[in-house]
Structure 1
Amino acid sequence: MPDKIYIQPLTFAPSPQAFQGDAIPLAGGMVYAREFAIVIRRDGRIAERAIATPETIAEVLAGLPGELGPEAEAQWGNLRMAHPPLSLGERTIRLDQPQVMGILNVTPDSFSDGGKFLDDPEEAHSHAAAMHEAGAAIIDIGGESTRPGAAAVWEGDEIKRVVPAVERCVAMGAAVSVDTRRPAVMEAALAAGAHIINDVSALRHDPRSLEFAAASGKPVILMHAPGEGEDLHAGAAYDNVVFDVFDWLAAARDRAIAAGIKRANVILDPGLGFGKSLADNLALLNALPLFHALGQPLLLGVSRKRMIGALSNEAPAHRRLGGSVALAQRGMDAGYQMLRVHDVYDTVQARNVWRGLRDAALTDFSGLAAD
């Protein structure tokens, strides 16, 4: 197995002037990284590790073995890459700040809402409108539960669930993503006006999905999940969950680009909760900034997930708001561009306060280091 390299942001600054410019804005956003670990992995284990800042990293990269140099330079460029906004119909979604994606499940067995939005289309519409008015940049509509043990759904039923919800959300002026693994559902949802394909199988579930997504010209969200069949949670085995997920997402990115999907249209999601233990999830959450080295916009989906219950006396899904907002803020602090959440109002409020703090830091010179 060849050696692999990773450049991981370690420490952060309130603003670049705090270190006389020796910090970079991660992915062109509002989070400034100061120190970076340059990690060489050999046979699944960390073999070498160095620390650098923007002022010293060129020297460190120049001393790497020749076969690792190009990848290291690419990752360093990716960490500094500013992503262009997404043009979604009449909506433009900027990626230089966190955006909130509201979840609308039209399924009978959602872990978070118990299927009430499938049984009552008017309530689903009202909920979507409330999320839109609360500041959701995107409404993510799904017609199949992907929780562990969920039953498979026939694509015809999934289409019947999803398309009316897409049509109503588009009619209210919302940008819409469709959460599906099936190309027939993708096609029907896009025809109804959806703007983004969000595939938790990273376009692997159906061999036709990759070709369809490329032909559509739409942005795609590719999520890490170890399972290859109906059960996305199956088959998890990690040497190092952080670097294994990074490598998997790099391969998913490359596969999508090779199929004809524009690189700017590829959004990546580390897949918290899918085929991962609590320890795996916590390791990924503590390493979120690393994934900017893949050079793509990033989505974090941790709202109301099982890990929050595991850390809070088994709180049920509807009582995980505090943990959900805390983890959303973790994503903001890591520079993630999209936060997929159930509780839009609270997350948007947290985001607005977070942004106020970041804006104020840029004009606060009290922390300037002496020359």
Structure 2
Amino acid sequence: MGIVNVTPDSFSGDGISIPDLTEVELVQRAVRQAKAFVAEGATFIDVGGESTRPHAPAVSVQQELDRVLPVIQALQQQLPPEIILSIDTYKAEVADQALVAGASLINDIWSLRYDPQMVEVARHHAVPVVLMANMRGFARRDIVSDLLRFLSQSIEQALAAGIPWDHLIVDPGIGFGTTPEEDLIIQRRLGELRALGRPVLLGTSRKSHIGRILGGLPASERLEGTAATVALGIAQGADIVRVHDVKAMMRVVKMSDAIVRGTFELSVNP
């Protein structure tokens, strides 16, 4: 899953929205980035119009729509039909309009809990949903047990609202209300999420705990650390990895899958 941040303030420093950029230029940048990701092996493109970093300024529904809708419309027209466009939002109106524009998956950092209308949007459009464990504001004892409880409740709520079982994907929410120590524990015990019976999405790309463990590296220098989390995540059963650096991480994914799942194709020349 390649990340297209249509924001000026992404924590990772890869946001493509900058001051004085026209809408046409913004869309062109996003399309170039997404096409490059697809050429490098991405099967999902995740479009977001609001930074989810801690203390990021709030973005109104209209601001978010203005950022993401033109991009999604362009991507829907220009990317191969098999590419899955994901809308990264926790606002029901943004999700609804993005799905009409061409998105076909909701990636909600609040697990359908923030906006009471989000469940209905997901049910109405009959699209897959990523349910992320967001521990901001939650007291914790054992982080993995707490994540499992949170995600189990989210799954139950989604099913009760009429969202099909096979439309649900779970995400442990690394970096969302968790400490660096907890992030490492989640990675170490990621395989326990398989008990939920749903595909696991892992989003560790350029996260702050990587920088802190590697001596304070900025987001732009966390490639190798991200690669380690992706490889070990796949070894623990991750099905989808959400990343900024698709080309490099696709190589990590292929090698990890070859070792862990026996999925590979040998080239003629070594």
User: Fold conserved (TM > 0.5)?
Assistant: yes
Cα 1:361–1:349 shift into 2, 3 Å: closer
More helix by share: 2
Cα 1:312–1:293 shift into 2, 3 Å: same
Secondary structure at 1:198 match in 2: strand
Q: Tell me if 1:137 matches 2:46.
A: no
Note the C-alpha offset of 1:361. Answer: 9.4
Aligned partner (choices 142, 153, 156) of residue 59 of structure 2: 153
Give me the whole-angstrom Cα distance separating, in 1, the residues matched to 2:46 and 2:15. Answer: 16
Note the C-alpha offset of 1:214. Answer: 1.2
State whether residues 236 and 276 of structure 1, in contact with CA within 8 Å, keep that contact through their aligned partners in structure 2: no
Q: Give the total of aligned pairs.
A: 255
Q: Tell me if 1:316 matches 2:222.
A: no
More strand by share: 1
TM-score (norm 1): 0.66
Secondary structure at 1:207 match in 2: coil
Counterpart in the other structure of 1:325:
227
Q: Which structure 1 segments of 5+ residues have no match?
A: 1-100, 227-232, 363-371
Percentage of identical aligned residues? 39
C-alpha offsets along residues 163-205 of structure 1, whole Å, 9 cap, x if unaligned? 1111222222232000001111011110111010000001111
Q: Which structure 2 segments of 5+ residues have no match?
A: 265-270
Give me the whole-angstrom Cα distance separating, in 2, the residues matched to 1:255 and 1:359. Answer: 32
TM-score (norm 2): 0.91
Give me the whole-angstrom Cα distance separating, in 2, the residues matched to 1:200 and 1:359. Answer: 29
State whether residues 203 and 209 of structure 1, in contact with CA within 8 Å, keep that contact through their aligned partners in structure 2: yes
Cα 1:305–1:359 shift into 2, 3 Å: closer
Counterpart in the other structure of 1:238:
140
Cα RMSD over matched residues? Answer: 1.6
State whether residues 170 and 194 of structure 1, in contact with CA within 8 Å, keep that contact through their aligned partners in structure 2: yes
Q: Tell me if 1:106 matches 2:29.
A: no
Deviating beyond 4 angstroms after TM superposition, the runs of 4 or more aligned structure 1 residues are 358-362
Give me the whole-angstrom Cα distance separating, in 1, the residues matched to 2:93 and 2:262. Answer: 47
1:126 is aligned with what amino acid?
R
C-alpha offsets along residues 257-286 of structure 1, whole Å, 9 cap, x if unaligned? 000000000101010000001111111111
Give me the whole-angstrom Cα distance separating, in 1, the residues matched to 2:184 and 2:260. Answer: 25
1:253 is aligned with what amino acid?
I
2:209 is aligned with what amino acid?
M
1:196 is aligned with what amino acid?
L
Q: Tell me if 1:128 matches 2:34.
A: yes
